[in-house]
Amino acid sequence: MSTLRVPQQVPPASEDCEQLKKAFKGWGTNEDLIISILGHRNAAQRKVIRQTYAEAYGEDLLKELEKELTSDFERSILLWTLDPAERDAFLANEATKKWTKSNQVLAEIACSRSSHELLLARQAYHSRYKKSLEEDVAHHTTGDFRKLLAPLVSSYRYEGDEVNLTLAKSEAKLLHEKISDKAYNDEDIIRILATRSKAQINATLNHYKNEFGNDINKDLKADPKDEYLAILRATIKCLVRPEKYFEKSLRLAINKRGTDEGALSRVVTTRAEVDMNIIKEQYHKRNSVTLDQAIKKDTTGDYEKMLLALVGHEDA
């Protein structure tokens, strides 16, 4: 579900490109003009703008933006202007290079995207970095993390709604046995999470809760400091309740200890055209302030304006 508000009458890409070229000229960059164009165009329109810009001026729009802008505003604009698959490839590459055990970005990309979107991200990764995402994940991660993340990023799940209830029951029992034995890295747990369709996993986890009394993620909180368990919980949330996962990511990014701009930009740019309305509702319910208000309180200037445009703020 797209939540980005695109103006009814979108000017032709050539006109947008002329305006963007104008924004780069003169004594200073016209950031407002850049936001008014790129912040209000959908993925297909942004792609055409990039192609048209390259044809008209022989320059890469992304490189121009990089040259003209700075800091968190630059990052949010660059992430947003990328094609969604290129963006996922870029974020995944960054996550492998800076990988730490608490980094959940690879699980997030592998599990909250559709099979087709993940396939496109892998192809974009291949074309941009001249190697495979699977290769980099296997190279940069270790132990249980590698055991879980390598099959997740190479997954291609069935996308339909059909569910095998007998299988759901038997796999719920299997998951419960392994978790009760604290065998969190067991290959059956990883196999189920990395290969079953989201509908099938949902049915299995519903059965798990009905049969054994607890939400599976509650049973995976045995040791709150265990980072492998944290990634396992993130995997499950992204597979069955991505909007809850992203609401929590935003809540953690905007907190009293200071803003995590990297997470804030990533979540807003990757979800603005997907499920931002649902995430906003969840955020409001959970935090008693709207996401718009939280962004206004925690960010400033062009960065704030860009984020508000993307979350569909009325005045954007």
Positions at the binding site for Ca(2+): 24, 26, 28, 68, 254, 256, 258, 298-299, 304
> What is d(CA 63, CA 69) in angstroms, rounded to the nearest whole number?
10
Contact 217, 233 (CB under 8 A): yes
Helix (H) or strand (E) holding 11: none
Place of tokens 């022989």: 58
Contact 311, 278 (CB under 8 A): no
> What is d(CA 275, CA 218) in angstroms, rounded to the nearest whole number?
25
Q: Where are the alpha helices (DSSP H) in 141-183?
A: 143-153, 165-180
> What is d(CA 275, CA 101) in angstroms, rounded to the nearest whole number?
27
> What is d(CA 6, CA 51) in angstroms, rounded to the nearest whole number?
19
Half-sphere exposure of 123 (CA within 13 A, CB side): 9
Residues at the binding site are: 24, 26, 28, 68, 254, 256, 258, 298-299, 304
For the chain, the residue count is 316
